[in-house]
Amino acid sequence: MDLLVCLKRVPMVGGRIGLLPSERQIDTAMLGFTVSPHEECAVEEAVRIVESQGGQVTVLTLGPPEAAEQLRDAVAVGASRCLLLEAGGKEWGPMATARAIAAAAEQAGPFDLILFGNEAADTADFQVGVRVAHLLGRPVATGIKSLSVESGAVTARREYRGVEESFVLQLPAVVSVKEGINLPRYPSLPGRMRAKKAVIETLSPAYSEEGLSMERLVVPKVERRRAAVLGEGREAVGELVDLLEQLGILA
């Protein structure tokens, strides 16, 4: 089976996010980069399918030249072919991104199954996978937490509002998966050695300005949690009891 997994390079942020003065970019001077946990699981899922059924896993990203790092990380855990779609310093909305990926998938494929993470870790548009499926005329399932491939079809399951839903999609298909579908492996040293040597194929997709575009970023205000000292020793007992009653812990 030939599988394609789509990844997006995003900053690995801590608790507080800083912006550059332009307010259009996150300050990444001291940050590392990663992909979303959903995408890590998508790679792991693809690698497991290939390990049991044969074939190969291709990983694709649309981004800056540095995004090759995320492709290599995927090679370190079992992917074998890398496609880097050059973003050319432009801002790619979900529609443009889907168009670029669909074109690349046709050009570099055919791929039996294209996997996405459920949503990107930064923009969380929740739509690129669906759009790619639509452009390629393939069936698509999203939010998937369990996947099995058998005799030309993929069975995808998810839980939605307490109900388990199960879909059977004829291949070729598109599926977006959610964190928890599996527990991704760590890269081994031999894996890292393969990643180091991996060839990165680059493609220059046509850019189209359509759909939503970003104006500026805002860091939402987070209420600072405050601790109040009710008192010390015996004097605190009254107030503490009141509070516990208020919280419904004491009747």
Q: Answer yes or no whether residue 13 interacts with another protein by CB under 8 A.
A: yes
Q: Answer yes or no whether residue 32 interacts with another protein by CB under 8 A.
A: yes
Which position has the token pair 């492709």?
A: 71
Among 48, 145, 157, 185, binds another protein (CB under 8 A): 185
Closer CB to another protein, residue 8 or residue 99?
Answer: 8
Among 54, 89, 190, 220, binds another protein (CB under 8 A): 190
Q: What stretch of H or E contains 49?
A: helix 37-53
Q: Answer yes or no whether residue 72 interacts with another protein by CB under 8 A.
A: yes
Closer CB to another protein, residue 21 or residue 162?
Answer: 21
Shortest distance, CB of residue 38 to another protein, whole angstroms? Answer: 18
Measured between its terminal Cα atoms, the distance across the chain in Å is 61
**Nearest-CA neighbor of 198 among 85, 80, 86, 65?**
80
Under a CB-based contact definition with an 8 Å cutoff, are residues 59 and 7 in contact?
yes
Shortest distance, CB of residue 112 to another protein, whole angstroms? Answer: 25
Neighbour-count burial of 209, counting CB atoms closer than 10 A to its CB (0-12 exposed, 13-18 middle, 19+ buried):
exposed
Under a CB-based contact definition with an 8 Å cutoff, are residues 70 and 122 in contact?
no
Q: Answer yes or no whether residue 29 interacts with another protein by CB under 8 A.
A: yes
Shortest distance, CB of residue 21 to another protein, whole angstroms? Answer: 16
The interface region with another protein, picked from 27-35, 39-47, 100-108, 243-251 by CB under 8 A, is: 27-35
Our CA dihedral for 170, 77, 72, 64, rounded to 10 degrees, sits at 50
Among 84, 187, 198, 205, binds another protein (CB under 8 A): 187
Under a CB-based contact definition with an 8 Å cutoff, are residues 55 and 111 in contact?
no
Question: Interface residues with another protein (CB under 8 A)?
Answer: 12-18, 29-33, 69, 72-73, 185-193, 196
